[in-house]
Amino acid sequence: MKQLKAASLITAIKTPYTSTGEVDLITYDMLVQKQIDAGVDGIIVGGTTGEGHLLSWEEHLILIAHSVHKFNDKLLIIGNTGSNNTSEAIKATKNGFAAGMHATLQINPYYGRTSTAGVIEHLTRTLDIGPAFIYNVPGRTGQDLTPEIIETLAKHENFIGVKECGGNERIAYYEKQGIACWSGNDDESHDGRHQYGSHGVISVTSNIIPGLMRQLMDTENRELNKAVQPLMQWLFCEPNPIAINTALMMTGAVKPNFRLPYKALTKEQRQQGVELLQTIKLEDRVGNTLSSLIDSDFNYCI
């Protein structure tokens, strides 16, 4: 638990695909190694950015097991085994821990929303299995995990903390109570860390600039934070993970294969990205090339 709470930079790692839409484990391993080289503390496997919702449970759990097998001794492996179905969340979480993951990321039931009491019961059942980060992202679930809910869950022995998308004021509120928080908003994460007392960030941006995100978590650096804000804003110009997928394809880090319903950014958006990524030194970004690509370069799978 101490090691988990000490992790200040956790990357919500991308899941790459082959041209036929299968999970590309060779490229995945290269992406994870880039994170290790940059000093990232852990990865979320199959999260929103990793498109866990587009993976079958079999694919999802194989990816967690693969990550454990390859990288267990190099960084923390946190499996996103949450679901809006309590039975599925319990089964996936048990399987994830059986595969050796260090912790789980759990979300409150989305779409089929439930009562406050139901949310607490759902998350308590998964906390009973092993160490868990709780993810609050009302923009996706349609339901805020209020302090009433989090303060109740925080009493559980397996509660690690919260990935909080509700802003730095809420993070500061929790941290003052001893409830560990990681920012879920990259653009707020530097200030969250150094001004509001967060434990760190669970990041999308660190997929492409892990070393710079490491610097932002380790030391207050307002100049660097200001410099990367335009890139962070661009990475969320469409619902995540569309832009980070496109960016990693533009830098040659992954093959230009999407699983639908995600599609590449438009030509105009890609050109904006090229201009932003050109401001980042080659050694600071993941991928060895930079091109806006053309529309026909992208392959769409199901």
Quick check: is 278 in a domain? no
On whether residue 30 sits in a domain, the answer given is yes
Stated pTM of the model: 0.97
Containing domain of residue 110, as a range? 2-220
Instruction: Indicate whether 252 belongs to any domain.
Output: no
Q: How many structural domains comprise the chain?
A: 1
Structural domain contains residue 179: yes
pLDDT at 286 over 90: yes
Which tens digits make up the pLDDT trace of 113-122? 999 999 999 9
pLDDT tens digits along 229-283: 999 999 999 999 999 999 999 999 999 999 999 999 999 999 999 999 999 999 9
3-state secondary structure the chain: CHHHHHCCEEEECCCCECCCCCECHHHHHHHHHHHHHCCCCEEEECCCCCCHHHCCHHHHHHHHHHHHHHHCCCCEEEEECCCCCHHHHHHHHHHHHHCCCCEEEEECCCCCCCCHHHHHHHHHHHHCCCCEEEEECHHHHCCCCCHHHHHHHCCCCCEEEEEECCCHHHHHHHHHCCCCEEECCHHHHHHHHHCCCCCEEEECHHHCCHHHHHHHHHCCCHHHHHHHHHHHHHCCCCCCCHHHHHHHHHCCCCCCEEECCCCCCCHHHHHHHHHHHCCCCHHHCCCCCCCCCCHHHCEEEC
Look at residue 259 and tell me if it is in a domain: no
Give yes or no for residue 209 having a pLDDT over 90.
Answer: yes
**Res 1 pLDDT > 90:** no
pLDDT digits (tens, 9 = 90+) for 39-75: 999 999 999 999 999 999 999 999 999 999 999 999 9
Domain assignment present for 288: no
Q: What is the mean predicted confidence (pLDDT) over 200-224?
A: 98
CATH number for the domain including 22?
3.20.20.70
Close Cβ partners of 292 (under 8 Å, ≥ 6 residues apart) = 250, 267, 270, 271, 273, 274
Answer yes or no: is 100 within a domain.
yes
| Per-residue pLDDT at 32 exceeds 90 | yes
pLDDT at 15: 98
Positions marked catalytic:
135, 163
Give domain status of residue 261, yes or no: no
Instruction: Say what percent of the chain tops pLDDT 90.
Output: 99
Name the residue among 250, 258, 253 with its Cα closest to residue 277: 250
